[in-house]
Structure 1
Amino acid sequence: MPRDTPGVSPVAVRRRRKAWGAGYVFLAPWLIGFFALTAGPMAASLYLSFTSFDLLQAPRWVGLANYQRMFGDDPRFWNALWVTIRYVVLSVPLKLAFALALAMLLDKGLRGLSFYRSVLYLPSLLGGSVAIAVLWKQIFGYDGLINTALYDLFGIDGPSWISNPSYALETLVVLRVWQFGSPMVIFLAGLRQIPTELYEAASIDGAGPWTQFRRVTLPLLAPVIFFNLILQTIDAFKAFTPAFIISGGTGGPVDSTLFYTLYLYQEGFGYFRMGYASALAWVLVVIIGTFTAAAFLTSRYWVHYEDKR
């Protein structure tokens, strides 16, 4: 604020500037981290997306060649995009539905709620690890736990789920759904905010459990569902570790688990086409941004907040 601002004394101006200075000092670690670790690398990646760069020689400007190759002459790009979209469409709704069902079960006033909540949250802590991916590979292998149970209980000789292109992606979807802990806890917090008087009034009016769920729970829980939907969709698009470990880094069988991020990794660190990998990364940013924007645009039709009239 300038010194000659009408109605403001020089002393007040100096105090306000000191306050601003203190604020910037406290913000300095975040600002340094943002520009050095986020904004700077993003700008460098955007530049590299228009170059041919193999980590050994200086980047060579090629303009839109990477994007032209991606959209016009790279069938693996389209396959990776299709596999990833299928993964997102299958895993996100199933995961949210499973998490909401368990949250409603825990919201019934069970004894030892803190214990059950902690135990059910564990899959979210462990699910993204390499160890769990290796364990999942063993469970769904030909001699794994799933086929052993199928044979012992029903006499069914099951396939090698992770080696069969018809089932490989679904095994990763199951792993994704198993990591339900984080959205479950958020759903549980949202359910605790719904007044019990609304359920009592609905019960008096003759509404059964299913009607109460549709007419009371879902509308009042819509903001929480929307929040979980955005987070889980973005996270599903970025999935990498399960496909990398279970497929051995190849995206097999027959590229049936070739996630977009895995293909990006192959191009950048497998074939050292860093320029092309940067272009893939920016297309992924646009795709995630488009899905997120579409969710926000459509939310006005089904997400209702208490402070809105």
Structure 2
Amino acid sequence: MQSPSFSVFSNIVWKYFFTIRAFIQSYNIIELSNFKEFDDGVLIYSPCRDEKHDILIIYIPNIPLFGNSPFFYVEYLMTLQSLLLLQGFNSPGIFIMKFSEECKSSTMEYNLSKFIKNYIKLIEDNPNSKIILMGDSIGATLILNFLSIKKKIFFNEKIIYDVNSINDDIKDPFATILISPIVKFNETNFVRKSDDFLRQQNIDDISILFCSDRNAELFNPCLWKTTEIWEKIVPEGGMVITFGDQELQNYEIEEVSKIAYKTRRVKIMKSPNKCHCWQFVSFLTEETQDEKEDSCFLFAGLISRMALFQTDAYRDPSISFEPMNMLTIDDKHL
């Protein structure tokens, strides 16, 4: 018998939900995009453009909730992909990684091994793409774990996948976008007043599975208090850290962001009156299309500022697509 949570978190349920909404809305802005489903994830792409992506976003989901339900993210990220086309990218792709059911109750080391295997395959298949790692909640935390180990800040002998595979020969991501990362696990029996739907009990429960040692520095980015660490971790193209001021860990995320900010390659987005992973909450609950898609417009603008001029296609006058500026500097979208 299926768990009652099956209907909420099942990939097939989210796939049908997306298909029905897409039909009713006649795809709205996402008519420029399509998707392909693979065993290890879902690729969002543009059928009318080159199969070689000038930019490829690798999305790491919130593994305990949606690790094996990539279709939870498809409509949101398909909207983002369409907006990247309008920003001027030639053929942006977004690959949502799929983690198996067992990953939901597995350690960071196990999930990181799964991620590394897929990451290596994706960069080998897309050698000329600018790679951006993007993730929310535990997915964002996993990205930080990966970068810290790859840059030899920490060594973790418990990683199942060959540790030597995370070496200097493996291409670094060009940039990263972290949505509401969980940056602190080493706190128990802690009570803080918060209106966020994410509770300390949730983090405690996750830490039991995710952290082989919840007090280890590797698992707690809030302990990375030197700029030298972040100089190594923050990719060449930059890092975006976005969170809400009503989050349970908003103070810790802000403190981490302030240190990372000193690298001069970090953009901080602290949104007023917003909760954990507010982008998806808004996308699912807001009534007007503009309000639903606000954060997609913001991310598209940020990504174009970081990467557009550095893509070969954009600099080539024979094939370049010029940006359509959909946001102005005076608009308030937070």
TM-score by length of 1: 0.24
Q: Which structure is higher in helix share? A: 1
Structure whose CA Rg is larger: 1
TM-score by length of 2: 0.23
Q: Which structure is higher in strand share? A: 2
Higher relative CO (Cα under 8 Å, sequence separation at least 6) belongs to 1
